[in-house]
Amino acid sequence: MAKANREPEVEIVVHALRNGLASCRFTTLPNSKWPAGHRWVFAQQKDFVTCAECRAVHGWRLPELGEAEVAKLVEPEPKPKEPFDVRSE
């Protein structure tokens, strides 16, 4: 039996955004250029922040997440785009 083609899963990390950057400063790129799996919320939405470094910067404890909550934080990695061939047949 053939295995189903499953894309690798990417853990979602939610950062606190402050002054246009992640509080943990994992990158200096704008949030529109962040790598797959990285999301952001405003610092006032601290209950949604899952990045331990961002939470530490603000002095927030990381909440204990159950298995169901952790499963919601995982999404498949996006497929790479096919290169565009400009040659005609």
Q: Evaluate whether residue 40 is within a structural domain.
A: yes
The count of other CB atoms within 10 Å of the CB of residue 38 is 18
Domain that holds residue 57: 9-76
| C-alpha span between 29 and 25 (Å, rounded) | 9
Residue 29 phi/psi, 5° resolution?
-75, 150
What pLDDT is stored for residue 20 in this prediction?
A: 86
Q: Evaluate whether residue 87 is within a structural domain.
A: no
Q: Evaluate whether residue 58 is within a structural domain.
A: yes
Q: Evaluate whether residue 81 is within a structural domain.
A: no
Q: Evaluate whether residue 4 is within a structural domain.
A: no
Q: Pick left, alpha or beta for residue 5 (phi over 0 → left; psi -120 to 50 → alpha; otherwise beta).
A: beta
Look up the pTM and report it. 0.60
Low-confidence residues of the chain, pLDDT below 50?
Answer: none
